[in-house]
Structure 1
Amino acid sequence: MAVAITLGATCIRDIRLLEHQRPVFGPVASHPTAWRALKELDELARARAGRARAAVRRRVYELLRKRPEGFPEVEVEGVPLTGWTVIDSDGTLIPAPSEKEGAHGTYRGFLGHHIFVATCDNTGEQLAATLHTGNVNANDAAVNIDILTRAVAQLPWWRRQKILFRVDGAGFSHQLIDWIASAGGRKSPTFRWEYSVGWAFTTREQAAIEICDKKNLWQPAGGGADGGVREGAFVADITALLGELTGWPAHHRVIARKEPLHPRYVKDANAYEIKQEARYQTFATNHQRGQIAHLDGRHRKHARVEPRIRDQKASGIGLPPSRELEINAAWLTATTLAADLRCWFQLLALDGELAKATPKTLRYRILHAPARLVRGQRKRRLKLPDTWPWATAIIRAFERILALPHPT
């Protein structure tokens, strides 16, 4: 089922996509068989699937670490966050008919489900995804801690010690912050977990902003088209201007960003922002050192989770196939497996723009290439048309896969 989703299936019946490729995949399960398999995939079975994913991920990460360029590191304004694993979490609403189990009224005014996703910004992988009823709040601490716990469990030990968790303002909660700052309750000093989360902009933050304006406490912010300073954008550390912040983790800081008010944000702007013709954003972090412009740029990279969720919604998670919540949760597991297969293929076998291509582009150029599998002389040959523009990339991908060392 995961292979079918990787190739473009958006429902269980689309497993028939593999029927014409029996010489490659062997016998293919029928639609009723696939349906029964998903129905039998209960919570324990999904947990076993998660452990299997983690085992393969350890192998993939070892292969990535042994590459000449090493394991992929996240870069902020050209500066790599060496040794840090960056996990972005976010929630998305999926519309659903009323007869589907778990479909509930959402804060956007329609019936649906709430899916929480955690991705690894280093590799682009979807580490974890959970399905909930539509009325689950985005800032539910238990739900957010659960999705991040599942994401961390997918990482090998050497990528768990230094983790940056990025969450937008909708997922913010005091309990979540405390959990991250305590490294999930771990006592070992080798674990260094940091958070970069959205912070509410209230009258208290507005008063701090006014002081920054009067005393000119702003510093130039990054985000320009050339990777440098963005014109009209500024940042400031307003922690000391917010009064007493007791009860928060050690080294808790609040940073504000000011930029020109774009027309697309006018409808969501408050009266103060409209008056100042500026957009204000605040976020909190427990990072002790570093320029605040760098911390601001590091937090804004959280936006990369949005296109990844969009791609996943187009690859199956946006269309839960059953009326039963358990079958839809199993389908979500299959889509997560499919995301792993696609991402690992891109990391280990492709380069250039194809290594970062969207699922649709990858299917069109590589996975759906016209080809014939020919048998003869005790060999199998894959014949590609010379005129296919990406034939060379397909051949190079085969060569890279064959060159991978076998696990011992």
Structure 2
Amino acid sequence: MQLSHTRPVVSATFDEPNLVSAAGLIPLMALARKAGLRELADERMSVPTDKGANAGLKLSSLVAGMAAGADSIDDMALLRHGGMGKVFTGAYAPSTLGSFLRSFTFGHVRQADAVASRFLLNLAEHTELLGPDDARGTVMVDIDDTIIEVHGYQKQGAAFGYSGVRGLNALLATVSTDQSAPVIAAQRLRKGSVGSPRGAARLATDTLALIRRSQLTGRDVLVRADSAFYSHALVVAVLSASAQVSITVRMDAAVKRAITTIAEDAWTTIKYTDAIYDETTSTWISKAQVAEIPFTAFTSKRKTDQVPGRLIVRRIPDLNPKTNQGQETLFDTWRFHAFFTTTAPEELDTVAADQTHRRHAIIENVHADLKASALAHLPSGVFNANAAWLVCAVMAFNLTRAAASLTTTPALARAATATLRRKLINVPARIATSARRLRLHLPTNWPWEQAWSALYQDVLPARAPAT
């Protein structure tokens, strides 16, 4: 593609009052209204009236701006261009939204958490955000934290954490099934130097309580996490909520002793990186192997507090380039990766349990998605304002996922936020008025017209079809 020489651009002026750059916000915020976002915020938020009047409209404005690509308070100005005022009301100035966020206390952030959880449940009622109602299978809850890098010295709570990066720590819990992509069920913003497991038990309890209030209730739930979250408090909290755990363990002395008791003939070769399937023997040719052994966790505690389960170990060769210099090793050396699970062997055998646990990495995609969207920056120097910003970012994330599930396009239902924004939200349109009705004129030959129209007709069925 190159610039046309037959029709050169003569001039460019910003003088069209009827254009909008994000027409996809119309069906998106219609879905948010259907799920009661404004009413939930007005009912549950008690921000002081001098800063928090119309809390529902301000929270909705923040969510809309993030869905359209805003990653700072100043970016919220994109809600006030062209013909946006003809289709939306309550699009506040960035300075007003910034003052609103800075007025939050810790209690107000927890109120916003309550709004986010109820908003998620309402979205699931109107869409297949959590999968079809008649779906079966295990519900996966993944817990992990990530460091959001910040710059400058006036960010409250910023510190150097375990990654060596100066920032704030965001703890997330996602829910996913075989039929649905991950959605964020709970979130916390913490200071940068906090330990990963801090508050994880409470976060897991909140997530499991949300699952019991959704259409997922009654299904088996498995909570997955890495070794940073291997703690008695988290495991007991999950088991008390009638769920199971699958958590990577640290290679301490007890785990190492247990691994040495595994018989050599107990190891099973599995499909792993660069594995080759041998059709003659119907086996995988791979150097990765798994085995399991009964294991009791937290034996340092009294007997009633110990947790029985299984220790599943995966071993792969320790490929040290230096060993190839000179004489070859006389025997293989291995690297071991072990995790503790309370699932029964009848539910998940050794190989299936290992595969299921490794899929915990799906939460890293959620972290990357948020950091490529609203969490590219934490915009305020005030910690509680940034905590509220995180909650709004989560609601925008879940809202775009819910909208994608209405497009009847499976690929979009699992797409990243940037893809959904490019195909469904940031669609330019011209607004025309006829007989006191607004009509959107969208680009011809828009590649994703069918998906956009399916979303529009689902949330605005009584209106005239988009043209």
What range describes the TM-score normalised by the shorter chain of this pair?
0.7 to 0.9
Alignment partner of 1:2 is 2:54 = no
* CA drift at 1:378: 3.6
Measure the CA separation in 1 of the matches of 2:106 and 2:236: 28
Match of 1:181 among 216, 239, 248: 239
Aligned partner (choices 316, 320, 324) of residue 259 of structure 1: 316
Amino acid at match of 1:200: R
Query: Which letter maps to 1:236?
Result: A
1:93 aligns with 2:147: yes
Which is worse superposed, 232-241 or 252-261?
Answer: 232-241
Alignment-derived partner of residue 113 in structure 1: 168
What residue is the counterpart of 1:23 in the other structure? 86
Task: Say if 1:251 and 1:286, in contact at 8 Å, map to a contact too.
Answer: yes
Q: Which residue of 2 aligns with 1:149?
A: 205
For residues 57 and 308 of structure 1, the distance between their equivalents in structure 2, rounded to whole angstroms, comes to 16
Percent of aligned pairs with the same amino acid: 26
The 8 Å contact of residues 11 and 321 in structure 1, kept in 2 or not, is answered as yes
1:215 to 261, 264, 267: 264
Q: Aligned partners of 2:142 and 2:311: how far apart in 1?
A: 19
Aligned length: 375
C-alpha distance 70-117 of structure 1, shift in aligned 2 (>3 A): same
Q: 1:70 to 1:95 in 2, by over 3 A?
A: closer
1:9–1:316 Cα contact (<8 Å) kept? yes
Q: How much is the aligned-residue C-alpha RMSD, in angstroms?
A: 3.2
Residue 187 of structure 1 is matched in structure 2 by: none
CA apart distance, 1:312? 0.7
The residue type equivalent to 2:384 in the other structure is E
Contact 1:223/1:297 (<8 A) preserved: no
Instruction: Find the residue that maps to 1:135 and give its secondary structure.
Output: coil
SS of 1:349's equivalent in the other structure is coil
- Please tell me whether the aligned partners of residues 128 and 151 of structure 1 are also in contact (alpha carbons under 8 angstroms): yes
Choose 1 or 2 for highest CA Rg: 2
With over 3 angstroms needed to count, the CA separation of the structure-2 counterparts of 1:56 and 1:93, relative to structure 1, is: closer
Aligned to 1:236: 291
* TM-score between both structures, scaled by the size of structure 1: 0.81
Task: Report the alpha carbon displacement of residue 60 of structure 1 after superposing the two structures with TM.
Answer: 3.0
Structure with greater proportional helix content? 1
Letter in structure 2 aligned against 1:309: H
CA distance in 2, matches of 1:7, 1:138: 31
1:398 matches 2:461: no
Q: Secondary structure of 1:323's partner?
A: coil
Q: CA 1:249–1:24 in structure 2 vs 1: closer, same or farther (change >3 Å)?
A: farther
Contact 2:144/2:172, CA 8 A, preserved across alignment: yes
Native 8 Å contact 2:297 2:306 kept in 1: no
Q: Which residue of 2 aligns with 1:130?
A: 188
Q: CA deviation at 1:154?
A: 3.5
Deviation of 1:211 after TM superposition, in Å, equals 4.6
- Among candidates 30, 37, 47, match of residue 100 of structure 2: 37
Q: Show CA shifts across 1:269-316 (max 9, x none).
A: xxxxxx845442111111123311111111111110001111111222
**What is the CA–CA distance in structure 2 between the aligned matches of 1:66 and 1:35, rounded to whole Å?**
30
**C-alpha distance in 2 between matches for 1:359 and 1:12:** 19
Deviations along 1:180-214, whole A, 9 cap, x unmatched?
1222xxxxxxxx310111112245444544554x5
Farther-moved stretch of structure 1 (377-386 vs 201-210) = 201-210
* Contact preservation (8 Å) 2:235, 2:245: yes
Q: For the Cα contact (< 8 Å) 2:123–2:399, is it kept in 1?
A: no
C-alpha contact (below 8 Å) 1:236/1:256 kept by paired residues: yes
Q: What residue ranges of structure 1 are gaps of 5+ in the alignment?
A: 74-81, 184-191, 267-274
Query: What's the counterpart of residue 309 of structure 1?
Result: 367
Q: Judge which range, 7-16 or 375-384, deviates more.
A: 375-384
Instruction: Tell me the distance in 2 between the aligned counterparts of 1:321 and 1:336.
Output: 15
Task: State which drifts further: 382-391 or 200-209.
Answer: 200-209
Segments of structure 2 that go 5 or more residues without pairing to the other structure are 1-61, 278-282, 323-330, 463-467
Are 1:324 and 2:382 matched, yes or no? yes
CA contact (8 A) 1:38 1:331 kept: yes
**Following the alignment from structure 2 to structure 1, what is the Cα–Cα distance between the partners of residues 66 and 141?**
24
Of the three residues 380, 387, 390, the one matched with 2:445 is: 387
Once residues 359 and 263 of structure 1 are traced to their aligned partners in structure 2, the CA distance between those partners, rounded to angstroms, is: 40
CA distance in 1, matches of 2:334, 2:372: 34
Structure 2 counterpart of 1:44, which letter? G
Shift in CA distance, 241/172, structure 1 to aligned 2, threshold 3 Å: closer
Equivalences for residues 327-346 of structure 1 within 5 A:
327-346=385-404
